[in-house]
Amino acid sequence: MTGSSVSSLSFSPHVLLLPSWYPSASSPLNGTFFREQAQMLKKAGFTVGIIALTSQQPWKAAEPLNFTIEEGIGVVRGSVRNIPSEKLPGEFSVIALQAKKAFQLYEAHCGRPAIAHAHSVYPGIYLAAAASRRWCIPYCLTEHRPSSIKRAHSSPRTREIMRLVRAAQGRATVSPLFAKKLESYYSTSPWTVITLPVPNDAQSVSIPSYVSGSDFIFSHVSHLGDNKRPKLTIRAFARLRNTIPHTRLVVIGGGVSGEIARLKAYCTDLGVADAVDFLGSRPRNEIFNLLSHTHAFVLASAVESAGAVFAEAQMVGLPCIGTRTWGGQYMIGPSEGVTVSIDDESELAQAMQFVACDALYGNPRIFEPERIRKRARERFSETTFATSSGKFYRDSLDCFRRHMS
């Protein structure tokens, strides 16, 4: 199957997505990949709608329900009040009751869905299971958060989540190693892996090419929280500069208050302030173009279930340097980059040197940008995602029908 659409697929049900977080006016970058995936499914011929209800403490004012149509997709936004501290039973019933009006609003505008798809367990799995009860439809789950398997088994919320996960007709996640962990934690059958996709826009930017004698530029994209290890990356880059002076680091992103200012001061202390550029948070539609003006990508996370930005960088044609997290090991193959031990500054600096030297002196290159993009198209394209999602939905529906017969 070729092209950017799979609208020719005979199977394209009405899918209701229930993400546990989603972009809003106050948090426009929160969960943008959920919105992108919804658009990809719509382009592929699926009928798609979204109910995005945030979980709130009961003493806070509820977010009023509202319905909007965003790029042709119906979206219901609002909130549900949770039970604090996860210590009391019955939270599913409480949230399901609150979601009833959201379901009514959705059905009035969009009709009845054929399948409910939660993204991450809390509160998504509660809402998907409630939708399943209301419309007598299957529900499935894609888990993204590594923190989902760190909950204490003894809490009422965890026991409820475990029951609902085990009862789901489909369970998926974003990398094989994370799938194994989820299978073990929830004591279920194997989980499906649906690789995170990259919008087709990434394929329209020029593949970067290194010009002999110019600076070799590394890029880093993240919210700059500690898990992404920006200070470790800067220290490794400072080490690299001692060996290869004509290198630069471009840091894209932000979000943690004051973090960019603190990192700039850190660069000054390490003597690399003139070689590190902080571009701040940028709109999604600018990221691919910014990456195309660099030569390699580095993200040294401590924990990563997948790492969509690895896929985005590879779609541009960049070799990637990551850590041996669940996601890093899955997203970066031997022809696409290098993985290193978590929190190993020396190894990270050596990997950066190796990738830079491949561009400076490799003939032929190990990390060839055209080949990296070609492989990324096979793994991360919209078509691949829509096809995998379609099979996941069909399998979930078949499981539901067998259970009901």
The answer to whether residues 267 and 171 belong to one domain is: no
Q: What is the pLDDT of residue 85?
A: 66
Q: What's the rounded Cα separation, in Å, for the pair 151 and 175?
A: 20
Residue 8 has pLDDT above 70, yes or no: no
- Is residue 1 included in any domain, yes or no? no
Q: What is the pLDDT of residue 239?
A: 98
Q: What's the rounded Cα separation, in Å, for the pair 184 and 171?
A: 13
For tokens 């998907």, name the residue.
Answer: 128
- Is residue 387 included in any domain, yes or no? yes
Domain count, the chain: 2
Query: Which residue range is the domain that position 177 belongs to?
Result: 14-197+381-404
pLDDT tens, residue by residue, 143-158: 999 999 988 788 899 9
Residue 256 has pLDDT above 80, yes or no: no
65: three-class secondary structure by DSSP:
coil
The answer to whether residues 376 and 296 belong to one domain is: yes
Contact status, residue 134 vs residue 156, Cβ threshold 8 Å: no
**Strand 73-81 versus strand 47-56 pairing type:** parallel
Burial of residue 198 (CB within 10 Å: 0-12, 13-18, 19+) is: buried
Residue 3 has pLDDT above 70, yes or no: no
Q: What is the pLDDT of residue 306?
A: 95
The answer to whether residues 104 and 91 belong to one domain is: yes
Which one of 4-18, 42-56, 254-268 scores highest in mean pLDDT? 42-56
pLDDT tens, residue by residue, 350-399: 999 999 999 999 888 999 999 999 999 999 999 999 999 999 999 999 99
The answer to whether residues 385 and 375 belong to one domain is: no
The answer to whether residues 53 and 102 belong to one domain is: yes
The answer to whether residues 54 and 113 belong to one domain is: yes
- Is residue 187 included in any domain, yes or no? yes
- Is residue 3 included in any domain, yes or no? no
Residue 255 has pLDDT above 80, yes or no: no
The answer to whether residues 138 and 25 belong to one domain is: yes
Query: In the chain, pLDDT over 90 holds for what percent of residues?
Result: 83
Residue 1 has pLDDT above 50, yes or no: no
Q: What's the rounded Cα separation, in Å, for the pair 272 and 278?
A: 12
Domain containing 108 — which CATH number? 3.40.50.2000
The answer to whether residues 373 and 386 belong to one domain is: no
The answer to whether residues 104 and 246 belong to one domain is: no
pLDDT tens, residue by residue, 274-309: 999 999 999 888 999 999 999 999 999 999 999 999
- Is residue 7 included in any domain, yes or no? no
Q: What is the pLDDT of residue 300?
A: 98
| pTM score of the predicted model | 0.92
The answer to whether residues 177 and 260 belong to one domain is: no
pLDDT tens, residue by residue, 200-253: 999 999 999 999 899 999 999 999 999 999 999 999 999 999 999 999 999 999
Band the pLDDT of 10: cuts 50, 70, 90: low
Band the pLDDT of 140: cuts 50, 70, 90: very high
Say which residue, 7 or 287, is predicted with more confidence: 287
The answer to whether residues 122 and 236 belong to one domain is: no
The answer to whether residues 283 and 371 belong to one domain is: yes
Per-position DSSP letters for 114-168, written without gaps between them: SEEEEESSTTHHHHHHHHHHHHT--EEEEE--GGGG-S-TTSHHHHHHHHHHHH-
- Is residue 2 included in any domain, yes or no? no
For 3-12, 44-53, 176-185, 336-345, which range has the lowest pLDDT when averaged over its residues?
3-12
- Is residue 4 included in any domain, yes or no? no
Q: What is the pLDDT of residue 310?
A: 98
First to last CA, the chain: 34
Section 331-341 average pLDDT = 97
Mean pLDDT of all residues belonging to the chain: 93
Residue 5 has pLDDT above 70, yes or no: no
Task: Write the CB contacts of 100 (distance below 8 Å, at least 6 apart in sequence).
Answer: 130, 134
Q: What is the pLDDT of residue 104?
A: 98
Q: What's the rounded Cα separation, in Å, for the pair 280 and 224?
A: 10
Q: What's the rounded Cα separation, in Å, for the pair 280 and 185?
A: 37
Residue 117 has pLDDT above 60, yes or no: yes
Band the pLDDT of 160: cuts 50, 70, 90: very high
